[in-house]
Amino acid sequence: MTEELIHRPGLKNVVAAESKICFIDGERGVLRYRGYDIQELAEHSTFEETAYLLHYGELPTREQLERFSHELRAERALPGGALGVLKELPRESNPMDVLRTAVSALAHFDPEVQDDSEEANRRKSARLIARFPTILAAFHRLREGQDPIPPREDLSHAGNFLYMLSGEVPDELSARAFDVCLILHADHGFNASTFSARVTASTLSDIYSAITSAVGTLKGPLHGGANIRVLEMLKAIGSVERVREHVEGMLERGERIWGMGHRVYKTKDPRAYALEALIGKLAEVRGESPLYQIAREVEKVGTELLGEKGIYPNVDFYSAVVYDMLGIPHDLFTPIFAVSRVAGWTAHVLEQYQDNVLMRPRAQYTGPDRRAYVPLEQR
């Protein structure tokens, strides 16, 4: 029996599996993790609690949160072998490439790598979440010619990352602002990198392979790589007065306005509002960000010119401004996205294993018809 083939380039609007993790209504700008609105989580939750929610489906009790946070804290340090791999990498490497290599390397130093039980996969997930910040901070220190700073167990996930990066314990506002960024980026349904992780998991490959696939997919500028492009764009524009001319020029040349447009949202991304609120709080203490003024104008002009097509700011648009205000090196913006999203990736991989169906679409063949083989001497 021949089954009907449906051709949907880019899998637009194709539902590939059921999932209980993340709900998105792209028309109304709604995002929920396990039923909780993202705005409420951004206001009241922490990254650790949100990661627990994504993994276990419920908000933790105080005791469950304590145990989970402790597990993350205890797993922060990198195995010596993995740190050795980081030390061998060229200092000028792209940090996303470093992260991809390091995640893959971690598998070799995990004694449970071959154990595919659910309990072992949960422990490996916690290890991955705990170690992403350590990898990035260690690489950043090494490329600056400094020794990596060992993680501190008395700091939160967000606070400890900022500490390992700069050597200074961050002030409360910075740590909280970064924590909120981590909450906002932690999951987003079947986005390209999560899908990639699930495709790998669907072959019953291991969780390190799945997360390595996801990191490689997040790197692209149409996905997580957009936040760096946003920053470069805002810097190239340079002043509010130059925005219209610059944006119009980009569109005339057929270029994309970075940080705008989304496969699912046809309205402003709810996370963009939350990030703007953070920018406001940071500005009260640190003063206005000139990049924010430029970004607001890009949003205004971009929406005027592209709003008809449903193109509005997405999460990467204002996250670039927040990270810049927090003093984070620009080429770490995309890896920081991964520091958060690894919570969602691992939750999705665990869900995929629980009710697995091999992900294997078809292609519409558009190559030549059957033809006779031509021997080499006759070509």
> Using CB under 6 A, which of 148, 159, 170, 261 touches ligand COA?
261
Token pair listed for 251: 């569109």
Tokens of 15: 């539902």
Asked if 266 is part of the footprint of ligand COA (rule: CB under 6 A), the reply reads no
Residue nearest to ligand COA (CB): 261
Give dist(CA 295, CA 280) in Å, integer. 13
Q: Which part of the chain contacts ligand COA (CB under 6 A), choosing from 21-29, 37-45, 307-315, 334-342?
A: 307-315
Q: Return the number of the residue (33 or 258) whose C-beta is nearest ligand COA.
A: 258
Query: Binding string to ligand COA for residues 31 to 50, with x set by CB under 6 A, is what?
Result: --------------------
Site membership for ligand COA, residue 260 (CB under 6 A): yes
Its sign, for the CA torsion 156, 159, 165, 166, is negative
Which one of 55, 188, 246, 262 is the catalytic residue? 262
CB of 320 to ligand COA, least distance (A): 10
18 CB contacts (<8 Å, ≥6 apart)?
Answer: 355
**Residue of 195, 258, 318, 337 that binds ligand COA (CB under 6 A):** 258
Q: Interaction with ligand COA in 180-199: which residues (CB under 6 A)?
A: none
Which CB, 130 or 218, lies closer to ligand COA? 218
Nearer to ligand COA, 311 or 343 (CB): 311
Tell which residue, 318, 248, 224, 219, has the closest CA to residue 278.
318
267 touching ligand COA, by CB under 6 A: no
Binds ligand COA by CB under 6 A, chosen from 49, 316, 324, 351: 316
Separation of alpha carbons 72 and 128, rounded Å: 9
Residue from 256, 266, 300, 330 touching ligand COA (CB under 6 A): that is 256
Q: Where are the alpha helices (DSSP H) in the chain?
A: 38-44, 47-56, 62-74, 80-88, 95-106, 118-143, 157-166, 172-185, 192-202, 207-218, 226-237, 243-252, 270-286, 290-306, 315-325, 333-354
User: Please, which residue, 266 or 281, has the CB nearer to ligand COA?
Assistant: 266
Cβ–Cβ < 8 Å for 323, 184: no
Q: What are the C-alpha distances in Å from 266 to residues 25, 188, 190, 213, 269?
A: 9, 15, 17, 28, 8
Min dist CB 209 to ligand COA, Å, is 25
End-to-end CA separation in angstroms for the chain: 40
d(CA 111, CA 90): 28
Task: Please tell me whether residue 337 binds ligand COA under the rule CB under 6 A.
Answer: no
The CA distance from 44 to 38, in Å, is 10
Stretch touching ligand COA by CB under 6 A, among 255-263, 274-282, 326-334, 335-343: 255-263
> Between residues 102 and 180, which has the closer beta carbon with respect to ligand COA?
180
Strand partners, 31: 24
Q: How many Cβ atoms are within 10 Å of 170's Cβ, its own excluded?
A: 22
Is residue 130 a contact point for ligand COA (CB under 6 A)? no
Please pick, among 223, 269, 324, 348, the residue that the annotation labels catalytic.
223
User: Is 315 a binder of ligand COA (CB under 6 A)?
Assistant: yes
- Residue 116 is among the residues annotated as catalytic for this protein: no
The stretch near ligand COA (CB under 6 A) out of 16-24, 194-202, 250-258, 370-378 is: 250-258
CA distance linking residue 284 with residue 280, whole number of Å: 6
Q: Which two tokens stand for residue 94?
A: 């792209």
Does residue 296 bind ligand COA (CB under 6 A)? no
Identify whether 262 is a catalytic site residue.
Answer: yes
Q: Residue 313 forms beta bridges with which residues?
A: 260
Judged by CB under 6 A, does residue 14 bind ligand COA? no
Query: Is residue 277 involved in binding ligand COA (CB under 6 A)?
Result: no
With CB under 6 A as the contact rule, the residue among 99, 180, 257, 301 that binds ligand COA is 257
223 catalytic? Reply is yes
| Residues near ligand COA (CB under 6 A) | 10, 222-223, 226, 256-263, 306, 309, 311, 314-316
Active site residues: 223, 262, 316
